[in-house]
Structure formats: structure tokens, C-alpha cells
Amino acid sequence: MLVADHDQASAWRSFRDAALAADPATRALMLARQADRARLRDLEMIGRAGLGHIGGDLSVLDILTVLYSVVLRVDPEKPQ
């Protein structure tokens, strides 16, 4: 069973609320920065593992960031 970290879920929820409330230009900048942070985390994980295919991971992060941050109704504390 998946269990979410409450603090991380709260931070994600705050980011989502701020992004949804922002004007379009600010929202785009916020999402771009969030995607960049995800890229760094992705590279760190692949580096620690010593293997991986970064091309596919990095190419979809902008789309996934927008989907999970402002389009889909995702609740990290209720992954089911």
C-alpha cells in the first residue's frame, strides 16, 4: 500500500493552490520551475542507481508537471 508523506503532500497542495490562483504568466513560470526541480530529482535518483534512461524521463516532465499540478484532481494522501 502506498503511504504519502504528510508534509510533502501539504507542500504539494500549497503549490497547486498557488499555481491555480496565479495569473497565466506566473503560473507558467511556477510550473517551469517545478519541472526543473523534478528533473534534478530524477537525475539524482538515476545517478544513485547507476543506470536509467534519462531521455524519456526528462522529455515528459513538463507535461507531467502540468497534469499533476493543475489539471488532474490528484490527492497524494489518497493514491487509490
Q: Which amino acid is at 62?
A: D
Tell me which residue of 56, 63, 16 sits closest to 35, measured CA to CA.
63
Q: Which residue has the higher pLDDT, 76 or 41?
A: 41
Residue 57 confidence (pLDDT): 82
Pick the closest to residue 17 from 4, 6, 5, 30 (CA basis): 30
Cβ atoms within 10 Å, residue 26 = 12
pLDDT 10s digits, 3-62: 678 888 888 889 999 999 999 999 999 999 999 999 999 999 999 998 888 888 888 999
What CA–CA distance (Å, rounded) separates 29 from 36? 11
| pTM for the structure as a whole | 0.81
pLDDT of residue 16: 92
Q: Cell triple for residue 42?
A: 530524477
Please report the pLDDT score of residue 34 as a whole number.
94
